Amino acid sequence: MASRCHYYIQIADLAHARGAQSELSYAGAGPNDFAAALHEALYSPMLFQRWRAMQPDPDEVDERLGITDQLAKVTAKAVDLHTEVDVITDLPMSILRRRLNWLIGAHWQLHDVRPA
């Protein structure tokens, strides 16, 4: 298993940050709602399962894309005019990126990654 990493992420405008597919998109109202939604996306396979069901041939989707981290931690807070998100997980960046994109599209920026 990969080592745990601490990802530092910034969202410029959380109020308008939405994914391309409304069925998967974040629909909350603030940093705490977003932290809960991202935590759920990392902790539980539910978001992956919804995405998988939307694919033309769900049985062909690689199950490894649905891995989860039962120990993932996510916090978010409003700072000035943006939202800062801290994620601690052992999931690879490719999985974190996919889950973020499902939730809020490309409305996020990775600022730093450090060992947790």
Domain count, the chain: 1
At 16 the pLDDT is 96
The predicted model gives 10-26 an average pLDDT of 97
Average pLDDT, the chain: 97
The predicted model gives 45-68 an average pLDDT of 97
Write the secondary structure of the chain as one string of H (helix), E (strand) and C (coil).
CCCCEEEEEEECCHHHCCCCCCCCCCCCCCHHHHHHHHHHHHHCCHHHHHHHHHCCCHHHCCHHHHCCCCCCEEEEEEECCEEEEEEEECCCHHHHHHHHHHHHCCCCEEEEEEEC
Q: Which domain holds residue 91?
A: 5-115
Both tokens assigned to 27:
């629909």
The predicted model gives 52-80 an average pLDDT of 97
- Residue 6 pLDDT more than 70? yes
